[in-house]
């Protein structure tokens, strides 16, 4: 097993709001092995972005961290002061690519200024060196005429180019971890494919560890080594990308996979998970997914399932994996789909 | 074959930015939509798909070209009667359910606005009944009419957007990227809802999207746009199993599939857009329904 560059342990976060306390993160554990790519998937409100905001210290002021640790290279960054975090970790060690390239760049600054801003802040670097480095970065992310583009403003670039610039900004201080929060949802498929390939190439070149936050399982299949499926503030299934896509065990993961449109079949109906995610203003009793789960058992209403081990890397939190639980058949459609994709991939 | 509901012929839409610079967003696009079918329009951003939708519903004045709807010409200057017919029979669902609903109006009034303008009810009671019916149809409850948009989640708001379009009983609904702002599982719910409604009311959809896998689920026929030209059009089956145009092929190769080992091996088909010059292109007929434009 590789060494983990980032480990989140039992993270528990509450938001204080006018409506009451929202228990958004209810004990999240996850690991990022050095040099690998981990994906956090789940619906909006499942807590994937909040977890990452905790890692980068960008939580809103009404958030309370009740318990937990976040170890970066062995140090618990939750014990750092805000100032320390800003000077030593953010931007320099851990950088973030935000969702919307239209709003995450400053419209009043040139591309060049935005890329070099972080360098001046974190490094002792001369103006001409910083400029040189910025041009290199623009070349690295595949922007032609880098020298000319340095003087451009964001509005002069297309969406795909802007997202490349955002990546260049994130890479400007040679971070060890890159967090990508839905980096391609605002882009169309051809551009998306190019950006994902780009991040992959850069990852190999700079030995980056990457975290993807996304709800698009197609993107996950393309980039991830490990997958964490989140639901209602918890990781409910974790495994290698092969384990999650070819041998999923949690009914919620089944639902997510079934809801993906399948290019190979001619069904004219898409599966959709019934109901909606729980409101975390009221603490869910038992398994938070039970009300939407047709395989739910009596125990699901009373007690929350622990993580059951399936293999060294594969865990899932569902009572169905308990030795006393009845055997359930996968939904027929998903079963045939998994069979097909295993066959297409020569897996197992 | 039945008479087409919508005929778009040689539609051009140019935007004059300055004296010397004109954006040619749509360049001579022709297609038909038949009653009760779904026509998917796909293409990258900037290909002109949204512009086409907006030109058809006359949010823009087309630069040239003819549009027939329901047997009546709706391009050029509209007289009052045609305008009224158009506004009642063609509706639009917008992309972003967060910004396309007026935050200061109640859901009931947002949905009822069209009814008010066209005076389609005889009493307040009837109006509320119509609105309640529509809300039920899209999976909300009549009690929701008294709430404001911010009290709803994204998926629910998009249902309100659909209800607003449906309340007029339109023959054609233009859905412009109406699911791309939603979560995958919610997308499935909304697409299924749109299909159910179509089965019930027999309305036609012009479904504009960049997500090919969703377009495949909902469309009967698909048109592929690139740089303002329709480069390929055909039945969904024909486009997906037998894409003829290199741009369509590259678009299909970029759709991520939920199969990690296959996905990691897959090569993108690169399409050199700079070389593409469609101005003197010719349409070639591959089958009765499948056409491709060569350049």
Q: Considering the domain boundaries, does residue B1 fall inside one?
A: no
Q: Considering CB atoms only, which of B184, B212, B262 is closest to A256?
A: B184
Distance CA B73, CA B70 (A): 8
pTM of the model: 0.86
pLDDT at A266: 66
Q: Is the CB of residue B195 less than 8 Å away from at least one CB of chain A? A: yes
Distance CA B192, CA B194 (A): 5
Residues 6+ apart with CB under 8 A from A252: A229, A231, A236, A237, A273, A289, A292, A293
**Domain span holding position B243:** 6-294
pLDDT at B3: 87
Q: Tell me if A222 and B264 make a contact (CB, 8 A cut-off).
A: yes
Whether the predicted interface score ipTM is above 0.85: no
Q: How confident is the model at residue A305 (pLDDT cuts 50, 70, 90)?
A: very high
Q: What is the DSSP letter of B144?
A: G
Q: Is the pLDDT of residue B202 over 80?
A: yes
In Å, what is the CA distance from A50 to each residue of A55, A101, B152, B226?
9, 20, 21, 38
CA dihedral A297, A298, A300, A304 (to 10 degrees): -140
Q: What percentage of chain A carries pLDDT values higher than 70?
A: 98
Q: Tell me if B92 sits within 8 A of B176, measured CB to CB.
A: yes
Q: Considering the domain boundaries, does residue B124 fall inside one?
A: yes
Residue A256: its chain B contacts at CB < 8 A? 184-185
Nearest CA in chain A to B265: A222
Phi, psi of B248 (to 5 degrees): -60, -40
Place of tokens 């009967």: B220
Question: Of A167 and B274, which is predicted with more confidence?
Answer: A167
Distance CA A99, CA B193 (A): 28
Q: Is the CB of residue A219 less than 8 Å away from at least one CB of chain B? A: yes
Q: Is the pLDDT of residue B1 over 70?
A: no
Measured between CA atoms, how close is A264 to chain B, in angstroms?
9
Among positive and negative, which fits the CA dihedral B90, B96, B100, B102?
positive
Q: Tell me if B260 and A188 make a contact (CB, 8 A cut-off).
A: no
3-state secondary structure chain A: CCCEEEEEEEEEEEEEECCEEEEEEEEEEEEEECCCEEEEECCCCCCHHHHHHHHHCCCCCCEEEEEEEEEECCEEHHHCCHHHHHHHHECCCEEEECCCCCCCCCCCCCHHHHHHHHHHHHCCCCHHHHHHHHHHHHHHCCCCCHHHHCCCCHHHCCHHHHHHHHHHHHHCCCCCEEEEECCCCCCCHHHHHHHHHHHHHHHHHHCCEEEEEECCHHHHHHHCCEEEEEECCEEEEEEEHHHHHHCCCCHHHHHHHHHCCCCCCCCCCCCCCCCCCCCCCCCCCCCCCHHHCCCCCHHHHHCCCCCEECCCCCEECCHHHCCCCCCCCCCHHHHHHHHHHHHHHCCC
Q: Which tokens in the block code for residue A312? A: 């060294």
Distance CA A25, CA B212 (A): 34
Cβ-based burial of B150 (10 A; exposed 0-12, middle 13-18, buried ≥19) = exposed
Distance CA B91, CA A312 (A): 54
Q: Considering the domain boundaries, does residue B61 fall inside one?
A: yes
Q: What percentage of chain B carries pLDDT values higher than 70?
A: 99
Residue A194: its chain B contacts at CB < 8 A? 268
Residue B214: its chain A contacts at CB < 8 A? 261
Q: Considering the domain boundaries, does residue B40 fall inside one?
A: yes
pLDDT at B61: 92
Q: How confident is the model at residue A68 (pLDDT cuts 50, 70, 90)?
A: very high
pLDDT at A65: 93
Q: Is the pLDDT of residue B112 over 90?
A: yes
Q: Considering the domain boundaries, does residue B202 fall inside one?
A: yes
Q: Is the pLDDT of residue A1 over 60?
A: no
Q: What percentage of chain A carries pLDDT values higher than 90?
A: 50
B69-96 pLDDT tens trace: 988 999 888 899 999 999 999 999 988 8
A124-177 pLDDT tens trace: 899 999 999 999 999 888 888 889 999 999 988 888 888 889 999 999 988 999
Among positive and negative, which fits the CA dihedral A301, A304, A309, A314?
positive
pLDDT at A2: 59
Look up the CATH number of the domain holding residue B86: 3.40.50.300
Mean pLDDT of A73-84: 89
Q: Considering the domain boundaries, does residue B54 fall inside one?
A: yes
A213-272 pLDDT tens trace: 988 888 999 999 999 999 999 999 999 999 999 999 999 999 999 888 877 776 667 888
What is chain A's mean pLDDT, rounded? 89
Q: Considering the domain boundaries, does residue B10 fall inside one?
A: yes
Q: Is the pLDDT of residue B294 over 70?
A: yes
Question: Of B128 and B21, which is predicted with more confidence?
Answer: B128
Q: How confident is the model at residue B195 (pLDDT cuts 50, 70, 90)?
A: very high
pLDDT at A210: 96
Listed range (A188-192, A286-290, B272-276) with the worst mean pLDDT: B272-276
Residue A262: its chain B contacts at CB < 8 A? 213, 258
The neighbouring-strand residues paired with A39 are A212, A227
- The total of structural domains in chain B comes to 1
Q: Which tokens in the block code for residue B38? A: 């779904």
């Amino acid at each position: 097993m590789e060494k983990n560059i980032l480990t989140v342990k039992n993270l528990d976060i509450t938001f204080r709001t006018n409506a009451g306390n929202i228990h958004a993160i209810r004990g999240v554990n996850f690991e990022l092995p050095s040099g690998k790519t981990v994906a956090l998937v789940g619906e909006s409100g499942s807590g994937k972005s909040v977890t990452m905001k905790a890692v980068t210290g960008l939580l809103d002021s009404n958030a309370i961290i009740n318990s937990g640790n976040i170890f970066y290279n062995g140090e618990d960054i939750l014990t750092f002061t805000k100032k320390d975090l800003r000077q030593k970790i953010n931007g320099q060690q851990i950088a973030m690519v935000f969702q919307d390239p239209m709003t995450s760049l400053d419209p009043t600054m040139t591309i060049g200024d935005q890329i070099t801003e972080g360098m001046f802040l974190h490094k002792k670097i001369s103006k001409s060196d910083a400029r040189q480095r910025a041009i290199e970065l623009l070349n690295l992310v595949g922007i032609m005429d880098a020298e000319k583009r340095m003087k451009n403003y964001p509005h002069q670039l297309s969406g795909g180019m802007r997202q490349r610039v955002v990546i260049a900004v994130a890479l400007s201080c040679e971070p060890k971890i890159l967090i990508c929060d839905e980096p391609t949802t605002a882009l169309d498929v051809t551009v998306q494919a190019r950006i994902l390939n780009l991040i992959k190439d850069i990852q190999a070149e700079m030995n980056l560890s990457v975290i993807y936050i996304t709800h698009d399982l197609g993107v996950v299949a393309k980039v991830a080594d490990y997958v964490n499926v989140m639901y209602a503030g918890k990781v409910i299934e974790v495994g290698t990308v092969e384990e999650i896509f070819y041998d999923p065990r949690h009914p919620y993961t089944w639902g997510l996979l079934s809801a993906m449109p399948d290019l190979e079949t001619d069904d004219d109906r898409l599966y959709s998970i019934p109901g909606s995610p729980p409101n975390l203003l009221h603490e869910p009793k038992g398994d938070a997914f039970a009300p939407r789960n047709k395989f739910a058992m009596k125990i699901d209403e009373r007690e929350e399932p622990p993580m059951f081990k399936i293999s060294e890397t594969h865990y899932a939190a569902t009572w169905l994996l308990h030795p006393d639980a009845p055997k359930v058949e996968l939904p027929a459609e998903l079963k045939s789909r998994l069979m097909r994709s295993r066959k297409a991939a020569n897996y197992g | 074959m039945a008479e087409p509901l919508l005929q778009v012929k040689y539609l051009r839409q140019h935007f004059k930015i300055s004296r010397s610079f004109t954006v040619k967003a749509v360049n001579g696009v022709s297609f038909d939509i038949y009653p009760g079918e779904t026509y998917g329009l796909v293409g990258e951003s900037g290909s002109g798909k949204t512009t086409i939708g907006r030109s058809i519903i006359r949010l823009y004045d087309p630069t040239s070209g003819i549009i027939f709807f329901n047997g009546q010409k709706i391009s050029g200057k509209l007289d009052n009667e045609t305008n009224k017919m158009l506004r009642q029979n063609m509706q639009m669902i917008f992309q972003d359910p967060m910004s396309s609903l007026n935050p200061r109006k109640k859901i009931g009034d947002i949905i009822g606005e069209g009814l008010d303008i066209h005076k389609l009810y005889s009493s307040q009671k009837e109006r509320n009944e119509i609105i309640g019916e529509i809300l039920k149809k899209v999976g909300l409850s009549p009690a929701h009419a008294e709430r404001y948009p911010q009290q709803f989640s994204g998926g629910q708001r998009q249902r309100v957007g659909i209800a607003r379009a449906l309340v007029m009983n339109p023959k054609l609904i233009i859905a412009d990227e109406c699911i791309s702002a939603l979560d995958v599982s919610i997308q499935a719910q909304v697409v299924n809802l749109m299909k159910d409604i179509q089965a019930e009311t027999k309305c036609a959809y012009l479904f504009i999207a960049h997500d090919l896998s969703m377009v495949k689920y909902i469309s009967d026929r698909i048109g592929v746009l690139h740089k303002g030209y329709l480069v390929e059009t055909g039945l969904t089956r024909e486009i997906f199993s037998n894409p003829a145009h290199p741009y369509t092929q590259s678009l299909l190769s970029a759709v991520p599939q939920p199969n990690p080992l296959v996905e990691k091996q897959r090569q993108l088909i690169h399409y050199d857009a700079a070389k593409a010059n469609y101005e003197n292109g010719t349409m070639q007929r591959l089958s009765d329904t499948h056409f491709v434009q060569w350049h």
